[in-house]
Structure 1
Amino acid sequence: MPVSPLITHPLHADSRQSCFGGVWYNPSEQAVWNSPRLKVYVAPVNIDYIKARFPKESPSLAAQFRAGLQKDIRNVLENKSRQTGGRMKWQLVDRPVPGSVTLSLAIVKLKPTDVGGNIMSDLVSLVSPLPGTSLILGRFMSGDVGIEGRLSNTNTDAGIMEFKAYNTDPITLFSVKEFERFAFDQRNLRLFSSCIADIFKAGPASSIPKTGEFDLDPF
């Protein structure tokens, strides 16, 4: 279930979306994706839902997430301008301005990788006669991160789209990241960043507006 107030509509799962666990798209806001001039503002990431447990780490993770997202979105917007010969000039801005869209995000779940648990599970697997013991035990030691987001029209505050994404650590035979507390969470946040930025490549307007769902293929 949604955690933050950014999600105000039912979200729909779509197996064609590799990153998002659910999306809602407002068909009445289709025009924004055809605008020849558009400014995009990325608001500071909300950490109200995780800062009590991780008062030191959560601001840093949120800042890294936002910085990576701004970089990814800027690259997409600049490429869009070049590919259209300047016909569509979209740009990233450092504050909300009239005629822009605002991307609001919240990290709503954070569970670091249990480094000590992963070390123990690997040691147990060395003496266990059962194959796959490390993978099974490692699943319980995995980290987890979740975000929720909303893209809105700055002029009207109308929602353009809403989405959520949750990822746990991948199951691996061995990875150095298993022994870094937030390494997989940072990896997943970078993945989310890439997926969100790719929304601006083509926009969801051409997919399934009748149902409020859209197809997003970020790879």
Structure 2
Amino acid sequence: MDSRQSCFEGVWYNPSEQAIWNSPRLKVYVAPVNIDYIKAGFPKEAPALAAQFRAELQKDIRNVLENKSKQTGGRMKWQLVDRPVPGAVALNLAIVRLKPTDVGGNIMSDLVSLVSPLPGTSLILGRFMSGDVGIEGRLSNTNTGAAIMEFKAYNTDPITLFSVKELERFAFDQRNLRLFSSCIADIFKAGPASNIPQTGEFDLNPF
């Protein structure tokens, strides 16, 4: 898989919608992030994480689109818009899974590792205390409503010893969402890579 899509667990491109990547003029809309799957468990944190994720996406995608225009001498002028308009592509995303890091558990696993004679104790315990975050997304044609691409990505906390981020419940989730944002934005640099195997369309939970 191309490095631009390497952070995704699954990617599907609609073969009949690939001409969009050669459009000289294109508008890109990033919709508010869906949090229906996580807001019940995190009523305060979910809206904040979703707003932060969308802001990161808008910033990253805007930078990619502006650089694309500069690199092509304005031949391909793609721009970010604040609402869906005819002839645009709409990016819809959802955070479908969220588990914060168990701060107290991580601290205890580190302390246990200091007195345990078994090597790797902290790493084993830390795995159970780790958080994770999952997203699903769809890029669609606003004229027809047809899906251009679909993707899903899931990430678990990296296993570390005595990380400062272990003291922040959502620090790793925020880091992973920033990683997802960068990967999604990179797709707009050149569209899908030719070496990505075409897969069947998969069902996305929130769409």
TM-score by length of 1: 0.88
Provide, for residues 71-118 of structure 1, a one-character-per-residue CA deviation record: whole Å limited to 9, x for no partner. Answer: 000000000000000000000000000000000000000000000000
Displacement of 1:172: 1.3
Q: Distance in 2 between matches of 1:175 and 1:46?
A: 30
Kept in 2: contact 1:144–1:185 (CA 8 A): yes
Percent identity, aligned pairs only, is 92
Kept in 2: contact 1:81–1:89 (CA 8 A): yes
Unmatched tracts of structure 1, length 5 or more: 1-13
Displacement of 1:167: 0.2
Choose from 87, 102, 121 the match for 1:99. 87
Displacement of 1:26: 0.3
Provide, for residues 45-66 of structure 1, a one-character-per-residue CA deviation record: whole Å limited to 9, x for no partner. Answer: 0000000000000000000000
Q: Distance in 2 between matches of 1:204 and 1:99?
A: 20
Q: Distance in 2 between matches of 1:174 and 1:21?
A: 29
Evaluate the alpha carbon distance shift between residue 70 and residue 47 of structure 1 in structure 2; reply closer, same or farther with a 3 A threshold. same
Displacement of 1:200: 0.1
Displacement of 1:140: 0.3
RMSD: 4.2
Displacement of 1:206: 3.8
Q: Distance in 2 between matches of 1:86 and 1:217?
A: 38
> Which residue number in structure 2 is paired with residue 147 of structure 1?
135
Evaluate the alpha carbon distance shift between residue 109 and residue 215 of structure 1 in structure 2; reply closer, same or farther with a 3 A threshold. closer
Displacement of 1:179: 1.4
Evaluate the alpha carbon distance shift between residue 171 and residue 76 of structure 1 in structure 2; reply closer, same or farther with a 3 A threshold. same
Unmatched tracts of structure 2, length 5 or more: none
Displacement of 1:174: 2.7
Kept in 2: contact 1:150–1:161 (CA 8 A): yes
Evaluate the alpha carbon distance shift between residue 218 and residue 164 of structure 1 in structure 2; reply closer, same or farther with a 3 A threshold. closer
Evaluate the alpha carbon distance shift between residue 217 and residue 159 of structure 1 in structure 2; reply closer, same or farther with a 3 A threshold. closer
Q: Distance in 2 between matches of 1:15 and 1:77?
A: 19
Kept in 1: contact 2:94–2:206 (CA 8 A): no
Does structure 1 residue 131 correspond to structure 2 residue 119? yes
Q: Distance in 2 between matches of 1:112 and 1:16?
A: 27
Evaluate the alpha carbon distance shift between residue 192 and residue 210 of structure 1 in structure 2; reply closer, same or farther with a 3 A threshold. closer
Q: Distance in 2 between matches of 1:115 and 1:128?
A: 20
Q: How many residues align?
A: 206
Kept in 2: contact 1:27–1:212 (CA 8 A): no
Kept in 1: contact 2:97–2:135 (CA 8 A): yes
Kept in 2: contact 1:101–1:151 (CA 8 A): yes
